[in-house]
Each structure stands twice: as structure tokens, then as C-alpha cells.
Amino acid sequence: MVKSSFISFIPQKEKEENKGAVEFQVFSFTNRIRRLTSHLELHKKDFLSQRGLRKILGKRQRLLVYLSKKNRVRYKKLIGQLDIREVKTR
């Protein structure tokens, strides 16, 4: 149900083609991160889920760094929509 609200920003004809877009991938990783975070609040010793969370966080961070270098305007808009912090750059 959350995916449909984000996809509604995308024009109808691009919905089928655009699931590989950086914004869509970051959005889906963010949803998975939020679900895993709430799961880990209940199950503190679930170390396999912690490992999975760290892997997803790394993938999302790499995508955000790529997007910030490629197109800063799209990056700012995306982090504003998803309410996430800006990526630290070296």
C-alpha cells in the first residue's frame, strides 16, 4: 500500500518501465529498512536480521551516493520525500 502512494507520483506509462530506477530502488530499500527496524525492536538478538539490515543499508547508501553525484536535484527531492538523512561524502 505504501508502494502505490510513491508510484502515484510517476506517470502511468512509466510505471511498468521504471521499477529499475534509482528512486524506486531506494524507496523499496527504505521500506524494507523500516520493517526490519521495527522487527529488531521486538527481537533484539536476531543477528541474521541485523546482518540483512546492514547489507540493505549499504546498498541504499551506494545508490544514494550515485544519485547525488549524477543528479543533485533528484537526490534532494528523494531524500525530502522519504525523510532520510543526507549521505555523508568523503
pLDDT (tens, 9 = 90+) of the chain, 90 residues, equals: 455 555 455 555 555 668 889 999 999 999 999 999 999 999 999 999 999 999 999 999 999 999 999 999 999 999 999 999 887 766
- The C-alpha atoms of residue 37 and residue 54 are separated, in whole angstroms, by 11
Quote the longest CA-to-CA distance of the chain.
44
> Is 0.75 surpassed by the pTM of this model?
yes
Q: Which three cell numbers stand for residue 87?
A: 549521505
For domain 2-82, give the CATH number: 1.10.287.10
